[in-house]
Copies of this chain bind each other. A is one copy, B any other.
Amino acid sequence: MLIIAERINASRKYIAHAIASGDRQFIQNEARVQDQAGADYIDVNAGVFVGEEKEKLEWVINTVQAVTEKPLCIDSPDPAVIQALVPLARKTPLINSITLEKTRLEGILPVARDQGAPLIALCQSEDTIAETAEDKVRLASQLVDIVTAAGIPLENLYIDPLVYPLATNTQSAKATLEAIDRIMREFPGIHTTCGLTNVSHGLPNRKLINRTFLVSAITCGLDSAILDPTDNHLYGALKAAQAITGKDDFCMDFITAHREGRLE
């Protein structure tokens, strides 16, 4: 289970503030705690800085790389930002993300191919938000065709079927779960990923909903997630789900997490 640590995202006000004020120590601490908490990739996003996203994200990348050996997940919808910044990554980064939008595909796929970088692909096109499992799988299938035709191996593709708030559609999480199950079966070797916070928008006890969705998604085959690994309740649910689904030999990871006080 690949953990993409989500905290260094400028859509969070305190992160935007730290980036705007050049607070190296704050950003580096965010990187360090997520690294220590089990991140496999550290996501970096400066999308709110319209017009200066590239400069701000470059600063974040350099700031973060000074304190962690973990690879980055370079998070921008802008092909120009991806093109400029992926080469700055010391270790092959994860690219976050493409959709079926033509300009993103044309701008980002060559970089991913040339750098051998894995990439996240959202089940979303210019005109479609995929709400049903069928729509999500159909868009995933199109993404698979386009990405592999561009010379990128399926093993480097992380499909995010997206999840919409349960509060507005009771079936939204179920659609995502079914899509994960079908995508993992139909395209052996592919990966799936997902953010967790959207599902609980507008509901009470959001963290309970988020971690329950994570367990259900892992049960359906999800092998990567965008989350905050420093949340011990969430991390505990993840480790328990790995054990339950037969992916933790002798439950050693679970027992280790227990010994480290990471399960609650």
Contacts and interface: CB of A to CB of B under 8 A. Distances in A.
Interface of A: 166-167, 170-171, 173-174, 177, 199, 203-205, 208-209, 212-213, 215-216, 218-220, 236-237, 240-241, 243-246, 248-251, 254-255, 258, 263-264
A248 B213 CA distance: 14
B204 A258 contact: yes
Secondary structure call for the A interface: helix
17 contacts: A166-B244, A167-B250, A170-B243, A170-B248, A173-B244, A174-B244, A174-B246, A203-B251, A205-B258, A208-B264, A209-B243, A212-B244, A215-B216, A216-B218, A216-B219, A216-B244, A219-B219
Given A167-B250, A170-B246, A177-B219, 17 more contacts: A166-B243, A166-B251, A170-B243, A170-B249, A173-B246, A174-B246, A177-B245, A199-B244, A203-B243, A204-B254, A204-B255, A205-B236, A205-B240, A209-B240, A212-B240, A215-B216, A216-B218
A264 B211 CA distance: 13
A220 B218 CA distance: 12
A180 to B, nearest CB: 11
Interface centre among A203, A240, A245, A264 (most CB of B within 10 A): A240
Contacts of A218: 216
A171 B246 contact: yes
A197 to B, nearest CB: 14
